[in-house]
Structure 1
């Protein structure tokens, strides 16, 4: 018996809409990462991008547990001396709520070119409206 390996043209991709209102950030991010990666499909192959497109709405209304709003920090470094910048989760939610979900999902994807391609299939919006109605996305309940 031979091992089945899917071809790139055989992969059927769906569009899914996830409402992030009152969802826990980490639990939401794991489900999104599984769908982006394609691990929920029987034809999953770790060397290929077999995942679906995921549209996340209401990103500004996510929940976190504990004291993460004040204690969780995101760092970026410019490469210069003294060029490290930190922002708390509360400040990032106030300015760019889409980035909170994008960063959480990005950490759960492979760290290579396939992971970067998977992240491009994630569309995150702060409000309840999105411009992907023409793709006829299905509602995903998490």
Structure 2
């Protein structure tokens, strides 16, 4: 009797690629969805939801991303020190001026699973504010979308 079996990719069998994404004039949310799909491995036909089968992503020019509408002044990022009254808020414009890498990281982090697998996949994201990056040795392919 023939029974169908689902394909399950083992993490050791996943061949990881490196992709280079230029964030110049890209909208933050649309950029983050593409990056999250690559990190999770959804662009790969061997995608398995419960394994880390995604690829590495290097993002350059994170300081040149853009927001639509009035989000640059209205969107707020929050962090808490853990003490009473320790809530700090920052607008997108301020965060983009101080730490542009953090804007892209926060957007992608929100689109990954909220568990240990998501944290593991986020480690494969490397974000740089300028045009230079430290991963030339990995020979990343340019990813266009």
TM-score (normalised: structure 1): 0.98
- Counterpart CA distance in 2 for 1:104 and 1:137 is 22
- Partners of 2:29 and 2:43 in 1: CA distance: 18
**CA shift at 1:3, angstroms?**
1.0
Q: Does 1:48 align with 2:37?
A: no
The correspondence of residues 1-142 of structure 1 with structure 2, limited to 5 A, is: 1-142=4-145
Whole-angstrom distance in 1 between the partners of 2:11 and 2:32 = 25
Q: Secondary structure at the match of 2:21?
A: strand
Within 1, Cα distance between the matches of 2:37 and 2:11? 19
Q: CA deviation at 1:79?
A: 2.0
Count of paired positions: 142
1:4 Cα deviation after fit: 1.0
- What is the deviation of 1:131? 1.0
Deviation beyond 3 Å, 4+ runs, structure 1: none
Larger radius of gyration: 2
Work out the CA distance in 2 between the residues paired with 1:2 and 1:126.
Answer: 45
TM-score, normalising length from structure 2? Answer: 0.96
Structure 2: runs of 5 or more not aligned: none
Distance 2:143 2:112 in 1: 20
Q: What's the C-alpha RMSD, in Å, of the aligned pairs?
A: 0.6
